Amino acid sequence: MQTASLLYYFLLVCWCIDFVENQTNGIPRRQRRRMRYRGSRKGSSTNHRPNRQPQIKTSTTVAVVPSVPLINIDDGITEVFDSLIGLSGHESSYSVLPGKKGHCTANGMIMYDKAVWSPKPCIICLCSKGKVICDETTCLSLTCHKTEIPEGECCPVCSDIEPNDPSDPMLLQPLHTQAEMDELLRREKEELEGREKEIHKKDDEKRKRKEKKSQEEKKKHGYEAHQKEEEEISRREEEKRRAYEEEELQIEKEEEEKRKGNELPEQERKQQKSEEEEEEEDEHILRGDVFRMPPRFPIPVPPAEIPPLPTGCSISDTTVSCINARLTQIPPITDPELTSLELEGNTITSIPDEAFNGIPNLERLDLSKNNITSPGIGPQAFKILKKLKRLYMDGNALVHIPPELPSALEELKINENHLHAIDEDSLQELKNLVTLELEGNKLSEANVSPLALRPLKSLSYLRLGRNKFRTVPQGLPTSIEELYLENNQIEEISEICFNHTSNINIIVLKHNKLEENRIAPLAWINQENLESIDLSYNKLYHVPSYLPKSLLHLVLIGNQIERIPGYVFGHMKPGLEYLYLSFNKLNNDGIDPVSFYGAYLSLRELFLDHNELKFVPFGITEMKALSFLRLNNNKIRTVPPERICRSVVDDDNVDADSNDDDEEEVEDSHLEHLHLENNFINTRELSPYAFSCIRSYSSVVLKPQKIK
């Protein structure tokens, strides 16, 4: 009977020891998972060093176990120790990993906040807000004569007591009930919580003082935006943490329901296997694998699928091309990086307000050759395109310039439409516009406001050809450099047409109804930058006088010019370089010996073809810079030796009885191209010195010639 009682007490003692060890060391897996998530969060920015080292009293007299009680995680504390002092009464020498607030490093491994490990037997360490706090396990004193330390343990146990020895001190000590053990743990928990709250309170006070000071400094230096950004990041982190905790609570509930449901052994084995895999992942995290993504981490939701491009469209880099793709409307495209859209050659009729909402960064838009009408364009259709620089709408059915065009626009083309009016507000906001093309419309001085073009402060290139203008439009911007007014019905150029266009360089007025007496003497003579004028195919009978003194390039092709007045180019500086008089009615009587006065040293190209000249005009030999001469398709019959090339014959050493050729000296000439075809020249009768100044005879075109 006594033996049975001793055996009963011995078994009861063993059970108590095992129970306490499980309570101490058995951290549930789900709690470790939560520790892993909390450890990965950003730690406190303020490292706290306690001024005193609190001691934790323990009153348990149970078998020898490490006195490191585990506190319920749901109460907000992961793990605490019975002592916060380090090894030998000093703080640990483990360093904090620089640059990662709240993380610790131990033996080359990164430990997250609240992580626990044992670097040596009987020593347990905790990572708390970047500080490594270690504690040495306190072992209870034994009264037995012989003790030993079991393998894997740090505290000694008695080894000289027989199992049935009634003098066993462990058997003589009163056993603690479960209620007493819970009460001890509760007291220790409350004491530790009080110390923890006191420490956190001091930390919070320091942190608040530093934050207050930091906020004041940031306000002084204008860092409010940075503070808001940090608060936004903290808020997002807090939302992620809450979502993760809710997910963990849901998992815990599911596991609890499974345990209550008495699952099959096969399911238990699968669950155990999955938990073991999670433990291995936990070990990877605790070892410092900071790049490993934790399981159940929220996966970002992919963006909504972009609708495919219509048939016939293609994409290249930042350009979508839908040329001749048979589209009837603007395709719904969503791509903020798109900068160019080509929709030429379709049957699009309208542009709704939301047409370009998905491509707000568009810089180039080509809508040429469609059927777009003015009523079909929404009032806000182009307003969202703040970066649009080039808009092409040639070949549509517009009667007005589209409204609310972006102010960033630099190039606008609305050729071949039905525009019949431009009021003073149509182009009001286009101060950056450089190029404007409105050819092939129904514009005239009657429906274009004199104030319509003045807002265009940057305009340099203006095309208004193929319209109904009878005079040069008024109100041209001072910045204009090139003006194209061909194929209109212009009959007159008044003195005020170009008063405010001091920068103008090129004027094209071909295919109009101009006569030389309808060009005012002061219309452009004082222009200092006007270098090129094209007056082809008008009604001119002689070369106009009072041409701009800066003129270099004069085109008079296709008129009825019969005469080049003397000294007409004499006032020009540096001098005329290109003169084209083809397809006129010039004869030799209409060209005076001084007709080219002022251009002898500057003229490079002279076109006199398709006229009624009977011989090479005088003055050609005086043109020192001439390189291209056209005299073809006239009525020339002969070319005297000194009419094109001037030669000087040296007679000093010539023997009168000899048949040797005369020695000649030829002046330098720049003439490289000469056209004399389609005249009445007998090439066999030409002097061998007629073209001696031309560098290559292959540059002289003499064939074919007309038959008498």
For residue 578, list its beta bridge partners: 553, 605
How confident is the chain (708 residues) per 10-residue block, as mean pLDDT? 62 63 47 42 40 39 39 38 39 42 70 74 77 75 72 69 47 53 72 74 76 66 61 78 78 72 54 58 44 46 61 88 92 91 94 92 95 93 93 96 93 96 90 96 93 92 96 93 96 91 95 94 91 96 94 96 94 94 95 91 96 92 92 93 70 41 53 93 87 83 87
Task: Examine residue 436 and state whether it is found in any structural domain, yes or no.
Answer: no
Same domain, 702 and 589: no
Task: Examine residue 296 and state whether it is found in any structural domain, yes or no.
Answer: no
Same domain, 525 and 595: yes
User: Hey, which bits of 396-484 come out as E strands?
Assistant: 411-413, 435-437, 461-463, 482-484
Q: What is the pLDDT of residue 508?
A: 97
Phi, then psi, of 631 in degrees rounded to 5: -125, 15
Same domain, 641 and 699: yes
Task: Examine residue 583 and state whether it is found in any structural domain, yes or no.
Answer: yes
Measured between alpha carbons, how far is 615 from 306 in angstroms, rounded to an integer? 75
Task: Examine residue 142 and state whether it is found in any structural domain, yes or no.
Answer: yes
Last residue of a domain, one of 599, 622, 641: 599
Residues of the domain holding 498: 490-599
Same domain, 589 and 631: no
Task: Examine residue 323 and state whether it is found in any structural domain, yes or no.
Answer: no
Measured between alpha carbons, how far is 214 from 220 in angstroms, rounded to an integer? 10
Same domain, 208 and 60: yes
Q: What is the pLDDT of residue 574?
A: 92
Measured between alpha carbons, how far is 131 from 228 in angstroms, rounded to an integer? 29
Q: What is the pLDDT of residue 86?
A: 39
Same domain, 552 and 628: no
For residue 647, list its beta bridge partners: 666
Measured between alpha carbons, how far is 471 from 548 in angstroms, rounded to an integer? 19
Task: Examine residue 182 and state whether it is found in any structural domain, yes or no.
Answer: yes
Same domain, 620 and 542: no
Last residue of a domain, one of 286, 306, 322: 286
Is the full-model pTM beyond 0.75?
no
CATH number at residue 500: 3.80.10.10
Structure tokens that stand for 211 in this block: 């934050």
Number of folded domains that form the chain = 3
Same domain, 187 and 114: yes
Same domain, 234 and 89: yes
Q: What DSSP designation does 590 have?
A: G
Show Cβ contacts of residue 397 under 8 Å, excluding neighbours closer than 6 positions. Answer: 371, 372, 373, 374, 417, 418
CB 176 within 8 A of CB 62: yes
Residue 704, CB-side half-sphere exposure with 13 Å CA sphere: 3
Task: Examine residue 466 and state whether it is found in any structural domain, yes or no.
Answer: no
Q: What is the pLDDT of residue 631?
A: 96
Task: Examine residue 575 and state whether it is found in any structural domain, yes or no.
Answer: yes
Cβ neighbours around 216 below 10 Å, total = 10
Helix, strand or coil, per DSSP, at residue 59: coil
Same domain, 253 and 231: yes
Q: What is the pLDDT of residue 468?
A: 95
Q: What is the pLDDT of residue 159?
A: 66
Same domain, 635 and 585: no
Last residue of a domain, one of 261, 286, 311: 286
Q: Which residue has the tokens 């807002």?
A: 455
Same domain, 572 and 633: no
